[in-house]
Structures are given as C-alpha cells and as structure tokens.
Structure 1
Amino acid sequence: MKTNSKIRLFLVDDDIIFLKMLEIQFQHHGDFDIETFETGELCLQNLDKKPDVIILDFHLDGITKSAMNGLETLDKIKNSNPNIPVIMLSSQDKIDVAVSCMHHKAFDYIVKSETAFLRLQKAIETIFKYQKMEKELNWYIDRM
C-alpha cells in the first residue's frame, strides 16, 4: 500500500448505516484519511481534494430519488480525472451489472456481503501495486 502518507479514501453510499460501518472498518484496519458522501453529486463536488481511491455504490437513490446513480457518477469522475481508481460496490450479484461497471472504467466490482470489506482491502492493495509497477515501467521506458 501507499507508505509515505495516509490513503485519501472517498466512500460514497446512500445507505447511511452501511456507509458508517465501512468508515469504521477502514479506520480500524489501515492508515486512511476518509471522507464519506451520501450522493454522487457530493462526491463530485469534492474531487478537488484528490482522493487516492473512491468506493462508489451502484445505486445512489435511497435518499433522493432524483440523485445521480453510480454509473453516472463513475462517468463524471473518469471525465474529471481518469486516473482516480473507482471500486464499484453493490448489493446486486448480477454479472451484467458488473460488466457494465467495468465497461465504464471501474477498477473492480464488489458485491456487498460479509466478505465485502476484505475484498475492498485487497482491491485497494492491488491498486497501489499496479500504480507502483506502472511507475517502474515508465521509469524504464524513459531510460530507453
């Protein structure tokens, strides 16, 4: 994982109880600077804080029915900064939903379950491994 400072993590979910539970789990199991948002719109308004990773719920209309959904939010995040890794999180265990998220450039798709937190931790570790490998590869390419 990132070693020089805290990982800036955005958690976006309209299920306030699940959102708080995730926040607490991350606070107790890592060195994270966490911000939580109940809508995609609030997340987008805070992208200038440069999150290292965003965990984004697929459905975001539990509080406001007219709220932007997860895919719309994902697209706007990627339009703003394509380098921010976004992990989609959903209670839907449907392959077509997962494939759609991946087509929209999500880093991973994780189903909300009793193992979701462990899978999220692994996905975040993988993000930083890929970023490290990419830096090393670019360093070598620049030397050629």
Structure 2
Amino acid sequence: MKSNKKIKLFLVDDDAVFLKSLEIEFLEHADFDIETFSTGELCIENLSHNPDVIILDFHLDGINKTAMNGIETLDKIKAYDQDTSVIMLSSQDKIEVAISCMHHKAFDYIVKSETAFIRLQKTISTIFGYKKMEKELKWYMERM
C-alpha cells in the first residue's frame, strides 16, 4: 500500500541562510513538497495547506522582535490541528527548553548542529512509522 503523495513539509525559521540551506538539504535528499516561512505568523496563516510535518525554530524574533516565538507558534498549530507533527529546532542546547517544547506537544526537539539534518530525517521517518502503526491499530480496533 504505497502512496505517491509527497510529504508536505513546512520549514519555519527567521534565519534566512539556515532556512534556505535546510530547504536545499531536504530537496536534495528526498522528494518533499516544501513551503518555507520566516515567521510563525506566516506559518499559521498557511496551515490550511495541511502540512504533514512542521520544522519550527524555537526563536523567531530575528526579523521582528515582537514576532510570535516558537512556543506560541507551536500552541497555535496544535490548536488548529493537534495531529500535525511539529519538530522544534534551536541553537539552544538546554534541557529546560527541550522540556518546554515537549510539554507544548512538540514531537521532538533537535539542536542545530552539524548532525541536525540527519536527526531531522530520522525523526520524520519515525513520525511516519508511528502514523502507520496508529492507522493499523485503529483498523484492528474497529474490527473488534
């Protein structure tokens, strides 16, 4: 049961260079349908495009100091659709930040580093593994 539907991926980061390099990495290594946003507000405005996964920067105030931060954006994404998988990404390697993101229902928290892209790929694979298992479990439960 293979689907030809591309994974819709939102990349949200206020660092334009990092955002573009992440987009290029994904386009070179997989067949994703990617939309990029420099603010949480722009991401929220486009949730009707139904992303499968959102990679969201923790700090989003580089362009506009009054911009919505990553946690606020995450909360609005989850209010819109609690099933949207969000991976938080940050240069902060602090356990408190990671715990806060997980408390707000992020799927994972990844620190920006030279291995971040590999971890993002693995996390996206894990997300779809879980979604497949949930679908199969639901199918079995409906038949009991």
Normalising by the residue count of structure 1, what TM-score does the alignment of the two structures yield? Answer: 0.98
- In structure 1, how many angstroms separate the alpha carbons of the residues matched to 2:71 and 2:4? 32
Q: Which runs of 5+ in 1 are unaligned?
A: none
Aligned residue pairs total 143
Residue by residue over 1:45-82, the C-alpha shift from the partner in whole angstroms, topping out at 9 and shown as x without a partner, is 00000001000000000000000000000000000000
**What displacement does 1:5 show?**
1.3
- In structure 2, how many angstroms separate the alpha carbons of the residues matched to 1:3 and 1:19? 28
2:93 maps to a residue whose letter is D
2:20 maps to a residue whose letter is K
Q: Which runs of 5+ in 2 are unaligned?
A: none
**What displacement does 1:117 show?**
0.2
> Secondary structure of 1:118's partner?
helix
Listed as ranges, the matches of 1:42-121 within 5 Å are 42-121=42-121
- In structure 1, how many angstroms separate the alpha carbons of the residues matched to 2:29 and 2:130? 21
Normalising by the residue count of structure 2, what TM-score does the alignment of the two structures yield? Answer: 0.98
> Secondary structure of 2:62's partner?
coil
Q: After the TM superposition, which segments of 4 or more aligned residues of structure 1 sit over 3 Å from their partners?
A: none
**What displacement does 1:112 show?**
0.0
Residue by residue over 1:68-112, the C-alpha shift from the partner in whole angstroms, topping out at 9 and shown as x without a partner, is 000000000000000000000000000000000000000000000
Q: What is the RMSD of the two structures over their aligned residues, measured on CA atoms?
A: 0.8
